[in-house]
Amino acid sequence: MESQTANNRNIIFLVIVAALGYFVDIYDLVLFSVVRVKSLTEIGVSASDLKENGIFIINMQMFGLLLGGLLWGILGDKLGRIKVLFGSILLYSLANIANGFANSVNSYAIIRFIAGIGLAGELGAGITLVTETMDKEKRGYGTMIVAGVGLLGAAAATLISENFTWQTSYFVGGGMGILLLLLRVGTFESSMFKNAVKSSEVSKGNFFMLFSNKKRFLKYLYCILIGIPLWFVVGILVTLSPEFGKELHSTEPLNAGTGIMFTYFGIAIGDVVTGLLAQVLKSRRKTVFIFHLLSAISVIVYLTSYGLNGQTFIYLCLFMGFSVGYWATFVTIAAEQFGTNIRATVTTTAPNFVRGALIPINFLFLFLAKKYSNITAGFILMAILTVIAVFALSQLKESFNKDLDYLEE
């Protein structure tokens, strides 16, 4: 009885620390989007160049996430989930502190690239630990809490940036990461990973295993594709809201920082609702499908809201955020599709490939926006991404209540 109580305490602590880790991760991840205009203006970027320089820097951050996803995912399966958490936190914390001293577009971009590598390890390792440690009937609640608390980091980024300089905002992010590093000392390794380590003949953290088998590769690809509409909404529709506002003839300039904050409020609420709905329906696939349809509706409403004001913009961001609030459920689906020996690799790389997909999406958006308009480009891309995501979802098997204690051969 006492050992069960102690185990429950350990699991609760693990979920809390994972949630706080994701809080810091999201704070740092969206901070550039929040301070883009203010920080770039202060280092000498002209108003006409804010959009293209901003997209260049966020592309560098996303490229860092792509590489970091590979690095930390492989290390997570080879060395353990805990070691990845320590390494990634230390890297992005130091990078964010350095970011406060950026004085040119190039130095800014290089530091965001390094920060991106560090930020790539947090969510995947945390979700992997939670899914492998909790009971299969309840693990959806654990990942729901991690995402619900973690996504509030975006609100913190906005509030701090509005009351302090952009440099201080980066220093705060780095400081929170260092504090989190100390808190991580009390966490423990997944028993499933420990058991996998004992099996010396099984390949661990072999990224190429995902490509050596057609069925396994397609399953991995589908896991990535179901999440791509989310980052289009956050990375383009909300981040470039000042530009969209002009085309929508908004009655006042739209603030991207405010938009990011309320979008993430919506995502946090959506993550809690999707987590609960998945438990009720006993299906993560049905839940994500419902939210894909909802997200398409929310974007249509946003891109047809001519003459909107600041208050309407906030409501729209809440709606769009809520409708793409399937992030934790998407990552959980990815974790549940693969064996313990490559689970961290999948769970860490999949969300970062989704984030990294923003790079080609950005290029396609810029091409379409120049040919047509921001609004038309937004419609075309959201339609394409939603169709792709729904198709990918239809190809995956239901993973709710699936036993995760197995290895990929």
pLDDT value of position 175: 93
| Cα gap 316→211, rounded to integer Å | 40
| Cα gap 224→271, rounded to integer Å | 18
User: Taking 90 as the threshold, does the pLDDT of residue 291 lie above it?
Assistant: yes
Q: 300: Cβ–Cβ under 8 A, 6 or more apart, which residues?
A: 379
User: Taking Cα atoms as reference points, which of 72, 66, 70, 63 lies closest to residue 91?
Assistant: 72
User: Taking 60 as the threshold, does the pLDDT of residue 2 lie above it?
Assistant: no
Environment class of residue 71 by beta-carbon count within 10 Å: exposed (0-12), middle (13-18) or buried (19+)? Answer: buried
Q: What's this model's pTM, rounded to 2 decimal places?
A: 0.76
Sequential DSSP letters for 62-126: HHHHHHHHHHHHHHHHHT-HHHHHHHHHHHHHHHHHHHTT--SHHHHHHHHHHHHHHHTTHHHHH
Question: What's the rounded mean pLDDT across residues 41-47?
Answer: 91
pLDDT value of position 399: 75
pLDDT value of position 189: 56
Question: Three-state DSSP class for 165?
Answer: coil
| Cα gap 80→101, rounded to integer Å | 34
Question: What's the rounded mean pLDDT across residues 197-221?
Answer: 76
pLDDT value of position 355: 79
pLDDT value of position 196: 58
How distant, in Å, are the alpha carbons of 82, 130, 136, 195, 198 from that of 191? 12, 11, 14, 6, 11
User: Taking Cα atoms as reference points, which of 253, 232, 248, 273 lies closest to residue 140?
Assistant: 273
Packing angle, helices 105-119 and 50-78, rounded to 10: 30
**Phi/psi of residue 180, nearest 5 degrees:** -65, -35
Q: Are 205 and 342 a contacting pair, CB within 8 Å?
A: yes
Q: Are 118 and 106 a contacting pair, CB within 8 Å?
A: no
User: Taking 80 as the threshold, does the pLDDT of residue 405 lie above it?
Assistant: no
pLDDT value of position 381: 94
* Mean pLDDT comparison of 60-69, 144-153, 160-169, highest-scoring range: 160-169
Question: Three-state DSSP class for 409?
Answer: coil
Could you report how far apart the first and last alpha carbons of the chain are, in Å?
37
Joined tokens for residue 303: 């891109």
Tell which CATH classification among 1.20.1250.20, 3.30.160.40, 1.20.58.480, 3.40.50.1220 matches the domain 2-188+210-395. 1.20.1250.20
Beta-carbon count within 10 A of 275 CB: 26
Question: Three-state DSSP class for 204?
Answer: coil
User: Taking Cα atoms as reference points, which of 299, 295, 314, 318 lies closest to residue 377?
Assistant: 299
Mean pLDDT score of the chain? 85
Question: What's the rounded mean pLDDT across residues 404-408?
Answer: 68
| Cα gap 110→102, rounded to integer Å | 9
The tens digit of pLDDT for each residue in 167-205 reads: 999 999 999 989 888 876 656 555 565 565 555 566 666
How much of the chain exceeds pLDDT 90, in percent? 35
pLDDT value of position 186: 59
User: Taking 80 as the threshold, does the pLDDT of residue 300 lie above it?
Assistant: yes
Joined tokens for residue 218: 């397609």
User: Taking 70 as the threshold, does the pLDDT of residue 206 lie above it?
Assistant: yes
The residues spanned by each domain of the chain are: 2-188+210-395
Question: What's the rounded mean pLDDT across residues 331-337?
Answer: 86
pLDDT value of position 193: 56
Question: What's the rounded mean pLDDT across residues 276-305?
Answer: 93
**Which position has the higher pLDDT, 409 or 351?**
351
The tens digit of pLDDT for each residue in 346-380 reads: 888 888 788 778 889 988 999 999 999 999 999 99
| Cα gap 307→237, rounded to integer Å | 17
Angle, CA of 353, 235 and 306, to the nearest 5°: 145
Q: Are 211 and 217 a contacting pair, CB within 8 Å?
A: yes
User: Taking 90 as the threshold, does the pLDDT of residue 153 lie above it?
Assistant: no
**Which position has the higher pLDDT, 329 or 114?**
114
The tens digit of pLDDT for each residue in 73-106 reads: 888 777 777 777 788 888 999 999 999 999 899 9
Lowest mean pLDDT among 46-50, 150-154, 304-308: 150-154
Environment class of residue 367 by beta-carbon count within 10 Å: exposed (0-12), middle (13-18) or buried (19+)? Answer: exposed
User: Taking Cα atoms as reference points, which of 17, 34, 50 lies closest to residue 169?
Assistant: 34
Question: What's the rounded mean pLDDT across residues 43-70?
Answer: 88
How distant, in Å, are the alpha carbons of 44, 45, 57, 256, 258 from that of 104? 8, 9, 11, 22, 25
pLDDT value of position 205: 62
User: Taking 90 as the threshold, does the pLDDT of residue 164 lie above it?
Assistant: yes
Q: 395: Cβ–Cβ under 8 A, 6 or more apart, which residues?
A: 218, 219, 222
